[in-house]
Structure formats: structure tokens, C-alpha cells
Chains A and B, each alone.
Chain A
Amino acid sequence: MIKRILVALSGTPCTQSAIAHGVELAKQHNAELTGVTVIDPNRLQDVGPIPIGGAAAAHELAEHRMQLASEHIEESIGQFEKACGDAGVTSRILKETGDSAERLLADWRYHDLTVIGLRGLFEYGVLHDHGHLVLDVIGAGLRPLLAVSEAYRPIQSAMVAYDGSPLAARAMKAFCMLDIWNPMPVTVACFKGHNEEADTLLSDAAAYLESHAFATTKKIIEEKPRTAILETMDEREADLLVMGAAKRTRLGRKLLGDTARFALENSTKPIFLHH
């Protein structure tokens, strides 16, 4: 049951879409919506190495970044409050200062779902090298997470990326058990090639999804998940990708993080992440 939804107001082109998805889910579940902004001075003011004579320029640049971030924050808050007001959704704003990942994780503890933009988190148009912050917060335990793209589109169908691993199973189970979306057509895609194991996995997964009232179709994919995952999603006309994201173990995180990172950086559709 979703009663509290956290929306990251990052001031990026995806923020409007994050607000729209948050508002839609809040209306559907009669949930309370929290908009969170985080000013991370250490991150925003980090202008890199400075040569002799460059400190004044560095200081000016850092001040400019903070100013720009403040403007984006106010703009995002305005958009959020208007959207919530128009939809009649109960909402509140949390204005945080500090480490972006730490602050988001601190607020996530008291929410059932977090909605963020797909690319970037709390950069507010200031930083363009997004780094791994989204993967970092996922790796640190933030789940479940809905990462949305720039263009808003209602979620009416989904694709579950499934390889039988506990990680993928947890994502699929969370998608079903949290009951976030109404039953919809779902494609369950297995990236293990054509073999008996893949057939069994697909059948079992499809049966599980169908028991939760999702109309399911199966798809076996030969190519590597990193290259095929988004193409398959487009081909199946899915509006949402459901996938496991990252493990805490170093090796697992690297292996799984590649696909998750690729999807996060390149997807034009929302991704539901759980691990």
C-alpha cells in the first residue's frame, strides 16, 4: 500500500515529469506527496583544481552555481506546489542541505516510493557530469524507485527484465506486491538465450505475474541485456521497465550496474528499480 511518495525536485528537464508521475500515483492511492530539494554545497561548489590567480574566478563560479541552484529549486517548488494544488493532492516540501545521497536516503526512510528524474539528481542545471549519484543512492539501499524520463507518458504497459536472479525476482515481486499500478499488459523478457532454463524461468515468472492479474507475454532475448534491453522495450511498446539495479557487493554492483546505468542514461521511458 502506497501512502507516502517522495519526489526529488532536481530542477532538471525530468523534474516536471517526476512531479506529474508523483501526482498521478498520489491521486490513485490517495497518498501524501513530499517534494524534496537538496542543496549539496560541497558538490555544487566543487569547481576542481584551481591555478594561482584563479581563486577569485573559482569563488565567483561557485557563487554563481549556488545562485543558479537556488533559482532552479524555487522554480521546481513552484511547479510542484501548483501541480499538487491543481490535483488536490496533500503535499509538503522538504528543503534539505548537505550530502545529496545522505539527505535523500534520510527522507526515503519514511516514504513508500521515491520518484526521481532519470538523469541526474539535485544538480539543478549546475553540474553536467552526473556521475553515479543515482546508482549510489540505489546501491545505498534506496528502494523502490521510479526513475522517470523527460517526457511524461501514462504507464499502461510494462516490461520486466528477468534473468532468474534473486535481484531480478525481488524487482518483479515488488512491482506486483506494492500494487502501485493497476493491472496492465506486461512482457516478461529473459536475457538468457533460447534454452530450457530460459523457458522455465519465463513460464514461472509469467505465472507469478498472472497470479497478480497482469496479462503477460513472454520474450526470450539472445543479445546482451545492455544492448537489447531498451530496444526490446520499444519493440514491445512498454511504458515502464522493471529491473533489478545494483548489489552492494563489489563484483555484483559492477556487473549489474552496467546495464542499470546504461538504461538510466539512455532510456526515454520510466524505469522501476528495486533490489
Chain B
Amino acid sequence: MHQDQYQKSKLPIIIFTTVIALGIAGWLGWFLAGHHDGHGGHHEPHMPHLWYVGILPFIAILGAIAVLPLLNYTRHWWELNINRFFIAMLCSAATIAYMIFTSGSESIGPMLDHSIMKDFIPFIVLLFSLYVISGGIYLSGDLAASPKINTSFLAIGAGIASFIGTTGASMLLIRPLLKTNSQRKYKVHTIVVFIFLVSNIGGTLLPIGDPPLFLGYLRGVPFMWTLGLWPMWATACCILLFVYFVWDSLLYKKESAKDHRQDESQQEPLRLQGGINFVWIAGIVATAALVDSAKPLIGTEWTPFPYCRELIMLVFVVLSLQTTSKAIHKANNFTYAAILEVAALFSGIFIAMQVPLAVLEASGKAITATMNQPWHFFWSTGTLSSFLDNAPTYVVFFKLSQSLPEGEMLAVNNGSVPVLLLIAISLGSVFMGAMTYIGNGPNFMVKAIAEQEGVEMPSFFGYMFKYSIPVLIPIFVLITIFFLL
């Protein structure tokens, strides 16, 4: 299609999307400016009228994310972020229309305040900051691809994923790992275990490790609380590293002496570029941990102003961009496309999920009458996180767990949450994101990079049936037995 015609065909979508987005922003601004009558405050949970209609936009947006990239007719259309934003705004508009129809226009302001101001903006600013800053670090090199070196690579990745995010750790380490293993014949298992450990399980220990944990933090889970998950993290990591070491040792022996000699003759020491960005990442960690507009800064009486945390994070982003050479971004193949995609889709997900959350709030007691054990939550959260994005899945089960005030409780915003259930939800959403290529964003990124480097990666089902189910499910069963029963 000619470029002009192409642009022309996009015009209605651009106009529609802009109108909806501006409408939402305007409504939100009006609400925040105080021009509301206060009817949208806290109320007793009740099942939303025509709830089965209200949840359709949420189903629609998740369905679009799952299906549109697969269909030949829609694959290329879906590639453009403006089209993803269009779908997100369409689902948002449908949710708003439903809420106006069922609860009146006064319900929209609080809903937008909650979904956009309290969830979306802090969430996307953190992801954006980590994405940009970690994209400024480049590690190159080619070590001897022995089982010890490979296992060390994976262990380091699992260790740093909590501090620079699973995406950052994956992007930092995957290229040197691939180069290190370029002379190896058997390398698929290494990439797969890398996805298990670095792209998922490694990110358990801090809210910045994996997006669902940050959503928990935004809901009032203390920043350091996730560090308490170290026994489960260590158990899963140790078992996986041991299994990998044995596996890789067996395959290493199957390779020819010629391959080993070639590998040993083509080595290049590890070289880190853009190391200053670790300082900016430390700044992000400290900012996320310490700056909260809901409470005074530790050791002072000063309470940060709203969005102070996000503003500081963006300052670190600017510092990173100023101190990182373009060559590093180029070497990392860095673009803003991935984070814009996340922003486009989550702008709609956070709005569209408000009705399902209200449904869960109202029906939580009925659901938790049968689903009330930590292991129930671990496997339910995990199963959904395997196929859907784990951030909204975490939020849904977090909300559900609040209907079950039993055992030790953790105070969070607007109430409390049972500690054991929160552990189960956190582990399920982070660990089981490794079950498929679509369980977590970096899984697919690693797969794509490996394939471009000539690794014959397994298909979607090949990954599940040859690797994740046989390797991970037994580990998750052990985690359940040791920690969740």
C-alpha cells in the first residue's frame, strides 16, 4: 500500500484513539480538580449490575493480545502501537460506558483515579526507568562454555534479576551467554533454563524484580517484604541450577573433542560497558524503597509530594541517557518499541480490569469458600500467569485473597491481606511465568534473540512439553509441599 494511503487508512483510528484518550484524561483532570460530588467514595462491595457485560472489555483486551498477533489478517495490523492503543482505548471506552450505565457518571472519576493515577502511572514509570537504564548496560565476551561457566552465568542472572528486573537481567546476559555457547552443539537447554531462572524465578526478591510484585508494592505491600521469599527463591534456584549442571555436564560429554577445542580457542574476556547505569539502577531501587507519598521519608518528617517517586526515577532515566553512549544502545539493539507497547496495552488493561475486580470484591467470600488454601492460590495464580500477563493476574488474586481474613495478616492500602496467601500469589505469578513463552515478556525476547543467533528454539508447545512441564512442575510441587501446605 502506498505510504499516503496507509497513513490515510490509519486516520480514523488515530482520531478515535486520541478522542478517547483525551476524554479519559479530561475526566480524570476534572475529578482530580475536585469538581465531583463525592459519591464515588468507599462503599460496601456489591455485585455490579450486569457484571457479565462489564467484564467483557477485560476479556476482549486479553483476547486481542492473545489472538490478534496469530491471525494472518491481523498480524501486521497489530504490530503498530497505535493500533494496540486503539484496542486499549476501545476497551476502556466500553468499560466507562458500562459504568456510566450501571453506576452513574460519578463512579468514573474514582475509577480512573485508581486505575490510571495510582496503578498505571507508577507502574509504567518504574518499568520505563528500568527498561531504559538497563538498556544502557552492555556485557560482551565469549568464555569457555563449560557446565561450570554456564551454571555460574545462570546463578548470577538469578541473583541480579531481583535488582535490575527480569527483563534487564535477561537482556544483559543473554548475548554473552549465547556467544559463549556459540561453539556448543547442545545449547537449547541452556537458553530454556536461562528463561526459567533469569527471566522469571530470579525476580522474586524485590518489587522491582517482576512487575506483579511492584503492583503489590503499589497496593501497600512493604518494599522489603518480598525479601522474605528467599527460602522459596533459593530452593527453586538451587534445584534448577543442580539439574542444569548435571544436564549440561551430560550433554557436554556428548560433544566432540574438536568442538571443545574450538570453543577453548575462541575466547574473549567479559567486558562491561555502561557500568555507570548500575548506579542509576541503585538509585531506582532506593527511590522505590524509600520515597512514598503516603508516608514521611525515613528519618525525616517530610512527606514526599505525589509522584515525587516517579519524578526522581525519571531524573535517573535522564542521567542514564546523558551518560550512556549511543554505541551501547546500538549494541543492545535498544528501542522504545517494547515499553511503548506495554504502556499502550496496560493503559487499557488497568481500566478494563476494574469491573472484574469489583466482581471479585463482591463475590470473593463465595469463591474463597472453596478456594482458600495457599496452594490453591499458588497453582491458580500460576496457571493463569503461564498464559496471561502475570501483572493483572496478581492483582486479581490479591483482591480475591482480601476476602479471606484468616491467619497472619499484612496491613496494606485499604485493608489487609493474609500473609500465606500473598506468598502463594507472589510465587505463583513470578515462578509460573516461566511455563510458556508468553508467561512473561522477557521469555519471548530471549527466545527471539536466541533464534536470531541461530539457536533452534523449541516451538510454543515443544517448550512446554519438552522442558517446562517436565522440569518445572516437579519443582513447583516441591515448593508446594515444603512451603504452602
Q: Which residues of A contact B (CB under 8 A)?
A: 42, 45-61, 64, 128-129
Residue in B167, B448, B456 whose CB lies within 8 Å of A58: B448
- Name B71-115 residues within 8 Å CB distance of A: 72, 75, 78-79, 84
Given A57-B444, A61-B451: A51 and B338 interface contact (C-beta under 8 Å)? no
- Name B56-83 residues within 8 Å CB distance of A: 65-66, 69-70, 72, 75, 78-79
Q: How far is the CB of B455 from chain A (nearest CB, A)?
A: 10
Most buried by A among B75, B78, B345, B459: B75
Given A45-B75, A49-B70, A49-B437: A56 and B341 interface contact (C-beta under 8 Å)? yes
**DSSP majority for the B interface?**
helix
Report Cα–Cα, A56/B436, bound state, in Å: 18
Nearest neighbor of B444 in chain A, beta-carbon distance: A54
With a CB–CB cut-off of 8 A, which chain B residues contact A64?
451-452
With a CB–CB cut-off of 8 A, which chain A residues contact B437?
48-49, 51
Report Cα–Cα, A60/B445, bound state, in Å: 10
Evaluate contact between A55 and B79: CB separation under 8 angstroms. Answer: yes
Evaluate contact between B438 and A54: CB separation under 8 angstroms. Answer: yes
Count contacts on B: residues with CB < 8 A to the other chain.
38
Given A57-B338, A59-B79: A51 and B460 interface contact (C-beta under 8 Å)? no
With a CB–CB cut-off of 8 A, which chain B residues contact A52?
65, 341-342, 345-346, 389, 441
Given A42-B72, A49-B66, A51-B440: A57 and B448 interface contact (C-beta under 8 Å)? yes
Evaluate contact between A55 and B78: CB separation under 8 angstroms. Answer: yes
Q: Supply 15 A–B pairs (Cβ within 8 Å), ascending by A.
A: A42-B75, A46-B75, A49-B70, A49-B436, A49-B438, A51-B437, A53-B338, A53-B341, A54-B338, A54-B443, A54-B444, A55-B337, A57-B338, A58-B69, A58-B444
Residue in A48, A57, A128 whose CB lies within 8 Å of B445: A57
Q: Mark B432-463, 1 if CB is under 8 A from A, else 0.
A: 00001111111111001101100010011010
Interface flag for B414 (CB, 8 Å): no
Given A45-B75, A56-B335, A57-B338: A51 and B452 interface contact (C-beta under 8 Å)? no
Q: How far is the CB of B194 from chain A (nearest CB, A)?
A: 15
Report Cα–Cα, A128/B450, bound state, in Å: 14
With a CB–CB cut-off of 8 A, which chain B residues contact A60?
333, 448, 452
Report Cα–Cα, A51/B167, bound state, in Å: 13
Evaluate contact between A47 and B79: CB separation under 8 angstroms. Answer: no
Q: How far is the CB of A253 from chain B (nearest CB, A)?
A: 23
Report Cα–Cα, A54/B171, bound state, in Å: 13
Nearest neighbor of B349 in chain A, beta-carbon distance: A52
Q: How far is the CB of A243 from chain B (nearest CB, A)?
A: 29
Report Cα–Cα, A49/B436, bound state, in Å: 10
With a CB–CB cut-off of 8 A, which chain A residues contact B442?
53
Evaluate contact between A48 and B167: CB separation under 8 angstroms. Answer: no
With a CB–CB cut-off of 8 A, which chain A residues contact B439?
51
Nearest neighbor of A48 in chain B, beta-carbon distance: B460
Residue in A42, A47, A57 whose CB lies within 8 Å of B449: A57
Q: Mark B408-445, 1 if CB is under 8 A from A, else 0.
A: 00000000000000000000000000001111111111
Report Cα–Cα, A42/B69, bound state, in Å: 11
Nearest neighbor of B439 in chain A, beta-carbon distance: A51
Q: Mark B339-352, 1 if CB is under 8 A from A, else 0.
A: 10110011000000
Residue in B337, B339, B438, B449 whose CB lies within 8 Å of A51: B438
Evaluate contact between B460 and A53: CB separation under 8 angstroms. Answer: no
Nearest neighbor of B436 in chain A, beta-carbon distance: A49
Residue in A42, A48, A51, A57 whose CB lies within 8 Å of B389: A51
Report Cα–Cα, A45/B460, bound state, in Å: 15
Q: How far is the CB of B85 from chain A (nearest CB, A)?
A: 12
With a CB–CB cut-off of 8 A, which chain B residues contact A50?
69, 438, 444
Most buried by A among B69, B338, B440, B451: B69
Nearest neighbor of B387 in chain A, beta-carbon distance: A49
Q: How far is the CB of B471 from chain A (nearest CB, A)?
A: 20
Report Cα–Cα, A128/B457, bound state, in Å: 9
- Name B273-326 residues within 8 Å CB distance of A: none
Nearest neighbor of A99 in chain B, beta-carbon distance: B72
With a CB–CB cut-off of 8 A, which chain A residues contact B462?
129
Residue in B338, B452, B460 whose CB lies within 8 Å of A56: B338
With a CB–CB cut-off of 8 A, which chain A residues contact B66?
49
Given A51-B441, A51-B443, A61-B452: A129 and B346 interface contact (C-beta under 8 Å)? no
Report Cα–Cα, A82/B132, bound state, in Å: 50
With a CB–CB cut-off of 8 A, which chain A residues contact B333?
60
Given A64-B452, A129-B459: A53 and B75 interface contact (C-beta under 8 Å)? no
Given A60-B333, A128-B456: A54 and B441 interface contact (C-beta under 8 Å)? yes
Evaluate contact between B338 and A55: CB separation under 8 angstroms. Answer: yes
Nearest neighbor of B433 in chain A, beta-carbon distance: A51
Nearest neighbor of A42 in chain B, beta-carbon distance: B72
With a CB–CB cut-off of 8 A, which chain A residues contact B460?
48-49
Report Cα–Cα, A148/B353, bound state, in Å: 55
Report Cα–Cα, A60/B452, bound state, in Å: 9
Nearest neighbor of A67 in chain B, beta-carbon distance: B452
Q: How far is the CB of A52 from chain B (nearest CB, A)?
A: 5
Q: How far is the CB of A66 from chain B (nearest CB, A)?
A: 12
Report Cα–Cα, A42/B76, bound state, in Å: 10
Q: How far is the CB of B343 from chain A (nearest CB, A)?
A: 10
Report Cα–Cα, A55/B456, bound state, in Å: 20
Q: Mark B450-485, 1 if CB is under 8 A from A, else 0.
A: 011000100110100000000000000000000000
Report Cα–Cα, A48/B464, bound state, in Å: 13
Report Cα–Cα, A128/B459, bound state, in Å: 9
With a CB–CB cut-off of 8 A, which chain B residues contact A51?
389, 437-441, 443-444
